[in-house]
Amino acid sequence: MKVWMDGNLVDRARATVSVFDHGLLYGDGVFEGIRIYSGRIFQCQAHVNRLYNSARLIRLAIPYTKQEIVEAMRETLRANGIEDGYIRLVVTRGVGTLGLDPFKCAEPVTFIIADQIKLYPQEMYDEGMAVIIAKTVRVADRQIPSAAKTLNYLNNILARIEAVDAGVAEAIMLNTDGHVSECTGDNLFLVEGGKVVTPPLTASILPGITRDVVIKLARQLGLEAEEETLPVERLYRADECFLTGTAAEVIAVTKIDGRTIGGGKVGPVTDKLLAAFREFIRGDEAEGAID
């Protein structure tokens, strides 16, 4: 495997960062996880724009232009011969002191990994998955900007530990107001009477790239798709529930806290949206241009 590190492709064994890097010491940095389909970078513009927006929110200056980052991703894909897979694009604050001051870091470190990923087994896509509602509360936007996809994922990891302990693959996190926010690595949708509903950005959620695509696809299919504040009770009463994410794509939830959702199987709206998503990733619009 070759890893792109600050302009150079290096062997995996040499792809290292300093123990003094603030990304390691404090989770100080940003990242993107991006799918590759048939050699194309899925929603390239949206992912790169979100990376730069995340960096802006934490006042981290990325030392490359957007086009340079895109070419670096393509170079990494070519070097590893990947046509269908996954990119992890990371920018850390860089080497600094043992103190918190981020402005004492010399310069950011950028690296790109191109590999494979499979988040959930096929049977979960066929039959749906069980999740729980975590006791760990989603960090409020006023504490850490929800729109910033940062390296500090401890909040999500603690909720994922709860899921593992419960024997399920994901956990739904509530925000500080007690409303549905998102899962540890995915956005969440409900289906109620044919209407597709997802929490708004103000619910302390990451603005998911796949989330945006699914909202668009739902409306193209003639479905009403809205962002609404969701109390927990609506989860249990929903006709269908599904998750979206770069690695997860679109996957149905059939149990929450042991309670069966809808008919206890992949619902017709979820099935239709998954089919539309799979068609979308094969189309010309899937990659998108860079502005």
Nearest to 255 by CA among 129, 169, 119: 129
Distance between first and last Cα of the chain: 30
| Contact indicator for 88, 136 with CB cutoff of 8 Å | no
Pairing of strands 85-92, 109-115: antiparallel
CB burial class (10 A; 0-12, 13-18, 19+) of residue 85? Answer: middle
Query: Which tokens in the block code for residue 167?
Result: 């024997």
Cβ atoms within 10 Å, residue 246? 21
Active-site residue (options: 149, 195, 216, 272): 149
Active site residue 149: yes
Helix (H/G/I), strand (E/B), else coil: 242: strand
The C-alpha angle with vertex 258 and arms to 252 and 262, in degrees rounded to 5, equals: 45
- Which residues are catalytic, by number? 149
